[in-house]
């Protein structure tokens, strides 16, 4: 049920710029600004300036490996 809410929020945020914090392996934290540009059944994609496109699963938000910060429109 929670994944359905996350997926719906991401789908409503397509085309909006957000600030992201990704907790990667070995406690490496990446912060970047990007635009959510696509949603699919298991993943969504983010266009990141000077990097290209990154993809994440909806469960990354559920497990707090990926946080969407800063902009009220994109808060989950």
Residue 65 is encoded by which pair of tokens?
């490996």
Contacts of 4 (CB under 8 A, 6+ apart): none
Each domain of the chain, given as residue ranges in start order, spans 2-74
CATH of segment(s) 2-74 = 2.30.30.100
Taking only the tens place, the pLDDT of each residue in 15-49 is: 988 999 999 888 899 999 999 999 999 999 999 98
Task: Report the alpha-carbon distance of residue 76 to residue 65 in Å, rounded.
Answer: 13
Q: What is the DSSP string of 7-48?
A: HHHHHHTTT-EEEEEEE-GGG-EEEEEEEEEEE-SSEEEEEE
- In this prediction the pTM is 0.84
Ramachandran region, residue 50 (left: φ > 0; alpha: ψ -120 to 50; beta: rest):
left
């Amino acid at each position: 049920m929670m994944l359905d809410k996350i997926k719906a929020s991401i789908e409503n945020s397509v085309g909006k710029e957000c600030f992201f914090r990704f907790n990667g392996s070995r406690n490496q934290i990446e912060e970047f600004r990007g635009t959510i540009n696509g949603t699919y059944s298991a993943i969504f994609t983010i266009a990141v300036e000077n990097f290209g496109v990154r993809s994440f699963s909806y469960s990354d938000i559920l497990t707090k490996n990926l946080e969407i910060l800063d902009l009220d429109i994109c808060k989950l």
